[in-house]
Amino acid sequence: MLRVLVTRPQPGASRTVHRLEETGFQPILLPLTETAALPVAAGLVPDDVVAVAITSANAVRHAPKEIIATLAGLPCHAVGKRTAQAAREAGFLSISEGPGDAEALADSIAAAFSGKAIAYLCGRVRFPAFEQRLKTAGVRVHAVETYDTLTVGYSDEAILERLSGQPADAVLLYSAKAAAAMQILARRPALCGLFEKTWVFALSTRIAAAFDDAASERIRIAAQPDEDVLLALLRSVS
């Protein structure tokens, strides 16, 4: 049974652990990042916004109720299935589910909102391409940062205990921040033996690039930034 390290933050980490258990893997829960809500005032949302864009379910989960109430009646463009579901549960009334990729979402809505303003619910740590593409197309993007992503620190002893002193066969990486943290862990003298032969499965090329180039022959990248695709890749290699 392959031992798979799950590095994404909660609540997604527990869902991934359950999915891995159902398909015959031995998941090891080790979140390398966590999300924390940021204070956001409803007055930060301009009156001229005509739609909402969301590229992370966490942006909805951490948004204050006042912000949701202000925006819920506007058309909401979610990056993919999970984010659309989070928006629906939060109270958004009209939701369009995107292709699962932030840049593709930007391309799909750019023409409709050229010359107009949209509210972008997002995290403080985010990839800039989504906003850049929309701004290039003449869309006024008002970023509303509802959460921050923080690195979770572990002692060598805590890692060794979590892994029962045994090597990890694979690690799943869902963000560049977690990939950078994993790289540092894998290089610690007390821990490097646990990760010498570990396969790395990254959700995107950008995330893989944040990991160790020297281990590139053991890195696999999902063809789409979607967990279903990532886990199918894990099953195909195992």
* φ/ψ (deg, to 5) at 41: -95, 140
Q: State the amino acid at position 5 in one-letter form.
A: L
Which residues, other chains included, contact 216 with Cβ-Cβ below 8 Å and sequence gap of 6+? none
Q: Check pLDDT > 90 for residue 100.
A: no
pLDDT, residue 40, reads 83
Average pLDDT for residues 4-11, to the nearest whole number? 95
Tens digits of residue pLDDT in 109-141: 999 999 999 999 999 988 899 999 999 999 999
Question: How far does the chain reach from its first CA to its final CA, in angstroms?
Answer: 10
Mean pLDDT over the full length of the chain: 93
The two structure tokens encoding residue 72: 């819920």
Contact 200, 220 (CB under 8 A): yes
pLDDT of 56 higher than 80: yes
pLDDT of residue 43: 65
* C-alpha distances in Å from residue 211, one per residue of 42, 123, 174, 235: 38, 22, 12, 21
CA-CA distance, 203 to 169, in Å (whole number)? 17
- 74 contacts: CB under 8 Å, gap ≥ 6: 49, 50, 51, 52, 94, 119
Enter the pTM of the model.
0.86
Q: Summarize the confidence of residues 32-58 as an average pLDDT.
A: 89
High-pLDDT (> 90) share of the chain, %: 84
CB-count burial class (<10 Å; 0-12, 13-18, 19+) for 181: buried
Structure letter (DSSP) for residue 155? -
Taking 90 as the threshold, does the pLDDT of residue 217 lie above it?
no
